[in-house]
Chains A and B, each alone.
Chain A
């Protein structure tokens, strides 16, 4: 079975600091996708990024960057020069394709609450 672990329950930083959110996953799937979602205080989850298991290139989008390392089963998320508006719960998730019916299921980690203080 798939499992996603976000060991950092809460992180608190001061504005403009860089912060990395860790995500480690377990899977027996050879083909899978990894996702990051942001949940602001309003509650709605916002999709941030998708990465497939065959693409280990790091990705940068503005102040956000993601580091996917298959060798360590990790998909970490870094926010550079954090801002107060980045305060939210961030979820890492896995979707695998070993079984026909499991392909549509997202397995979520427990989330990391990020607080950025002014």
Chain B
């Protein structure tokens, strides 16, 4: 089945450790996105990539890093510089980055930093 996978669904890390969240899509989409969701809040854009080997910062990029070496993969690293990393992280993709294209979302990863 085509779709977006994120693993794991739940992730626990100790404070001060970097952690990488996985996002893979087999939809042949060019654009991919990472969002953060905090309780009772909407989604905020962390990073996005419109094409392989290129990515841009979103609204809350500080403390995060990404790579886009393959079209189907867009991993997100939460570094120790991120002051409040506990949140629900959602990955999305779309055919392209244009206005018309809706984004399809993965199931999310809930990160808890102890």
Contact = CB atoms under 8 A, between A and B. Distances in A.
B99 interface: yes
A104 interface: yes
A47 B101 CA distance: 11
A110 to B, nearest CB: 5
Contact of A47 (B50, B90, B98, B102): B102
Nearest to B45: A105
Contacts of A4: 42
A96 B42 contact: no
Contact of A106 (B45, B88, B98, B100): B45
A101 B48 CA distance: 11
B34 interface: no
A52 B101 CA distance: 11
B99 A31 contact: yes
Contacts of A109: 42
Interface string B40-78: 111111001010000010100000000000000000000
